[in-house]
Amino acid sequence: MAVSDPVGDMLTRIRNAQMRNKTVVATPASTLRGRVLDVLQSEGFIRGYSETKFDNGSAEYSIELKYSDNIPVIREIQRVSRPGRRVYASVKNIPSVANGLGVSILSTPKGVMADHEARSQNVGGEVLCRVF
């Protein structure tokens, strides 16, 4: 079944797995999903992820979720820019999440990165999601 919003599907899988206190969740692999997972891992929201390739040419990521005292580290994860409504931000208008405690993930011409990194590189782009 084709998914019209792959990043939104991945975020929903993470959200649903955390509600059930799962330690690992699987999602189909793609380049954009991998870059978003890189940011989540570097910001400390997930333990890590690994890619599994299958014989038919498809691949999937196994995402290791992170918990602190049986409470998920990711309290809220929201998709901002959707296929029906794209949201872009210039460097001056990059949204801050929870007064800097959270992270906005942006897709910029220099790659997918967190909001503080985009500000330091002086680049704006599409706001993919925000994590808190």
Q: What is the pTM of this model?
A: 0.94
Q: What is the DSSP string of 30-97?
A: -HHHHHHHHHHHHTTSEEEEEEEE-TTS-EEEEEEE-EETTEES-S-EEE-SBTTB--EE-GGGPPPS
Q: What pLDDT sits at residue 57?
A: 94
Lowest mean pLDDT among 38-47, 93-102, 120-129: 93-102
The CATH number for 92's domain is: 3.30.1490.10
User: Whole-number mean pLDDT of the chain?
Assistant: 96
Question: In the predicted model, is pLDDT for residue 1 greater than 90?
Answer: no
- How far does Cα 112 stand from its chain's mean position? 10
Question: In the predicted model, is pLDDT for residue 2 greater than 90?
Answer: no
Residue 1 lies in a domain: no
Question: In the predicted model, is pLDDT for residue 115 greater than 80?
Answer: yes
Task: Show the tokens assigned to 106.
Answer: 């942006």
What residue numbers bound the domain in which 15 lies?
A: 6-131
What would the mean pLDDT of 14-31 be, rounded to a whole number?
97
- How far does Cα 11 stand from its chain's mean position? 7
**Looking at the 3D structure of the chain, how many domains does it have?**
1
